[in-house]
Structure 1
Amino acid sequence: MLRVKKLFGGTLSLRDYNAQISKIYAMVKTLNKLTELSMPKIQKIMQPTITGV
């Protein structure tokens, strides 16, 4: 939660509880997207099979 607060600000300025929850969901979704962008893409390399040996 500390990283979310550091990146997006430490307080919620909205008074409505549902609006606060929506804002938190948006923050977490953005943070997950940023984390996904920093992850390396891994592809499985298939080894060729030898047939007729």
Structure 2
Amino acid sequence: MTETAMYRVKQLFGGHLTLRDYDAQVGEAMAIIRAINKMMRAGMPESVRIA
């Protein structure tokens, strides 16, 4: 299951960082992580406690 998720991420965002500068790469990686987190939250079901 994890391999499938990583495959999807690489298909959406590319398999490598495109910027050359280290600080820019850090920013690019953080943007990708934020986007992945938003996608994960959007797909999570809402839990409701009963009783």
- Mark yes or no: TM-score above 0.5: yes
Q: Report if aligned partners of 1:8, 1:27 keep a CA contact under 8 Å in 2.
A: yes
Q: TM-score, normalised on structure 2?
A: 0.72
CA RMSD of aligned residues (A): 1.5
The equivalent of 1:42 in structure 2 is 47
Match of 1:5 in 2: 10
More helix by share: 2
Unaligned runs of 5+ residues in structure 1 are 47-53
Aligned residue pairs: how many?
A: 46
- Give the structure-1-normalised TM-score: 0.70
Identity of aligned residues (%): 46
| Greater C-alpha Rg | 1
Q: How far apart, CA to CA, are the structure 2 residues paired with 1:11 and 1:41?
A: 33
